[in-house]
């Protein structure tokens, strides 16, 4: 099933996701999920920070300044203040953004780090790092599953071509039949951890060589051309586990584990065991592009949010299977953040039909928010 290659204990998480998709909840799942979600969040954030710091320092032969941001508005404000000299298209895009900033999805959550290079000519924005948000991770997983089922429907195992595009019922039947499929590489998520590099003095080939010299292994390379121009790399990294375990858990994380019965010492010990017993290597996505193309992707002709809206309205991803899968995974990654130590049942069955209204009520239940209905029951 879904494999998140930036995480540790990927097989355990994959098996849990698969069981939940088939409505199989086990007594130990809540504690298992607590560790799989939160310890992976700690691990990814720590190794991504170290990797990005090292990469940008080597690209620019110096330590760069880092700004933390939590919205796309903060990112877009910064990139419009660091325009390269003499770029007419960059100035045009920045002026358009300044005239109508509210049209550019400024409140989109973006928990990332911006890398800035202080020069004699001013501050230059040279890239960023980010961890994919829960909802985007859930949506991408659902899309990959639906795409894989559609592709498998075109060439069934018996070799007989399907003349009709499969409907939801057929897709669900195929999901049931392929549940134990040995080769599910198409359902791998490689970009839970990501770095964007604005190439100035280097070419993509030089970036790849630098990464390989640093001990990274290139797994995939894809060139994007047209309205969106960039080089996408998927690399395999071996994080320094000793350095990652060299600092204790943050107070907020300790509070989450305390709500589940862990002392601070037990939580730190559990993190250590989790990291040392996990895989040695993880995958990271690196996007290499130029400043103008980066601006086009943020405030120009190929803005991220517009692509997200197109995906959400695509008939393939607006059906029962995609919606249910996406919500179930969103629930799976959200539940461990709450002080709930028990889960009696899963909130949905993949094969059943629900209105979005139901999902709203589940979210209210998760966060103990009362219903907005004022009926006197």
Residue of 117, 140, 273 whose CA lies nearest to 194: 140
Whole-number Å distance between alpha carbons of 267 and 35: 9
**Exposed / middle / buried, residue 26 (Cβ in 10 Å: 0-12, 13-18, 19+):** exposed
Residue of 58, 71, 70, 52 whose CA lies nearest to 115: 52
**Exposed / middle / buried, residue 45 (Cβ in 10 Å: 0-12, 13-18, 19+):** middle
Residue 176: band (very low, low, confident or very high) from pLDDT cuts 50, 70, 90: confident
Residue 184: band (very low, low, confident or very high) from pLDDT cuts 50, 70, 90: low
Whole-number Å distance between alpha carbons of 320 and 326: 10
**Exposed / middle / buried, residue 258 (Cβ in 10 Å: 0-12, 13-18, 19+):** middle
Q: What is the pLDDT of residue 319?
A: 87
Q: Is the pLDDT of residue 278 over 50?
A: yes
- Per-residue pLDDT averaged across 299-309, rounded? 95
Whether the CB-CB separation of 310 and 122 falls below 8 Å is answered with no
What are residue 103's phi and psi, to 5 degrees?
Answer: -90, 5
Residue of 70, 9, 80, 69 whose CA lies nearest to 38: 9
Whole-number Å distance between alpha carbons of 346 and 363: 13
| Three-class SS state of 299 | helix
Whole-number Å distance between alpha carbons of 251 and 258: 10
**Better-predicted residue by pLDDT, 341 or 45:** 45
| Three-class SS state of 243 | helix
Q: Is the pLDDT of residue 155 over 60?
A: no
Q: Is the pLDDT of residue 67 over 60?
A: yes
**Better-predicted residue by pLDDT, 286 or 156:** 286
Q: Is the pLDDT of residue 171 over 90?
A: no
- Per-residue pLDDT averaged across 230-250, rounded? 96
Most confident of 74-83, 154-163, 224-233, 363-372: 74-83
- For CA atoms 156, 160, 163, 169, the dihedral sign is negative
Pairing of strands 193-198, 282-289: parallel
Residue 108: band (very low, low, confident or very high) from pLDDT cuts 50, 70, 90: very high
Whole-number Å distance between alpha carbons of 28 and 232: 38
Q: What is the pLDDT of residue 121?
A: 83
Q: Is the pLDDT of residue 172 over 50?
A: yes
Residue 253: band (very low, low, confident or very high) from pLDDT cuts 50, 70, 90: very high
Task: Read off the tokens for 155.
Answer: 């060439």
Residue 164: band (very low, low, confident or very high) from pLDDT cuts 50, 70, 90: very low
Q: Is the pLDDT of residue 179 over 80?
A: no
Residue 374: band (very low, low, confident or very high) from pLDDT cuts 50, 70, 90: low
pTM value is 0.91
Lowest mean pLDDT among 31-35, 149-153, 251-255, 265-269: 149-153
- Computed over every residue of the chain, the mean pLDDT equals 91
């Amino acid at each position: 099933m879904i494999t998140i290659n930036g995480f540790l204990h990927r097989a355990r998480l994959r098996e849990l996701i698969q069981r939940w998709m088939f409505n199989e909840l086990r007594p130990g799942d809540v504690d298992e999920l607590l560790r799989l979600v939160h310890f992976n969040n700690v691990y990814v954030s720590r190794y991504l920070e170290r990797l990005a710091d090292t990469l940008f320092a080597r690209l620019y032969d110096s330590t760069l300044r880092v700004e933390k941001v939590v919205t796309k508005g903060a990112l877009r404000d910064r990139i419009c203040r660091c325009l390269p000299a003499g770029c007419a298209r960059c100035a045009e895009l920045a002026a358009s953004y300044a005239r109508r900033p509210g049209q550019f999805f400024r409140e989109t959550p973006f928990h990332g780090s911006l890398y800035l290079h202080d020069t004699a000519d001013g501050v230059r924005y040279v890239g960023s790092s980010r961890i994919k948000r829960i909802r985007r991770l859930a949506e991408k997983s659902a899309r990959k599953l639906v795409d894989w089922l559609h592709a498998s429907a075109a060439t069934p195992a018996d070799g007989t071509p399907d003349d009709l595009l499969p409907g939801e019922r057929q897709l669900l039947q195929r999901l049931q039949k392929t549940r134990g499929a040995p080769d599910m590489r198409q359902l791998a998520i490689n970009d839970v951890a990501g770095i964007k590099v604005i190439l100035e003095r280097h070419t993509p080939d030089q970036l790849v060589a630098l990464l390989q010299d640093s001990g990274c292994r290139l797994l995939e390379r894809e060139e994007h051309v047209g309205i969106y121009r960039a080089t996408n790399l998927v690399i395999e990294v071996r994080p320094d586990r000793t350095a990652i375990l060299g600092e204790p858990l943050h107070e907020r994380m300790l509070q989450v584990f305390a709500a589940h019965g862990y002392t601070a010492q037990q939580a730190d010990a559990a993190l250590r065991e989790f990291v040392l017993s996990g895989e040695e290597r993880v995958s990271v996505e690196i996007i290499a592009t130029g400043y103008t193309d980066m601006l086009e992707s943020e405030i120009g002709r190929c803005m991220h949010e517009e692509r997200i809206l197109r995906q959400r309205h695509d008939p393939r991803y607006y059906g029962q299977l995609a919606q249910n899968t996406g919500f179930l995974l969103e629930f799976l990654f959200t539940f461990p953040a709450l002080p709930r130590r028990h889960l009696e049942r899963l909130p949905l069955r993949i094969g059943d039909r629900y209105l979005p209204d139901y999902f709203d009520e589940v979210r209210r239940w998760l966060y103990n928010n009362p219903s907005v209905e004022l009926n006197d029951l």
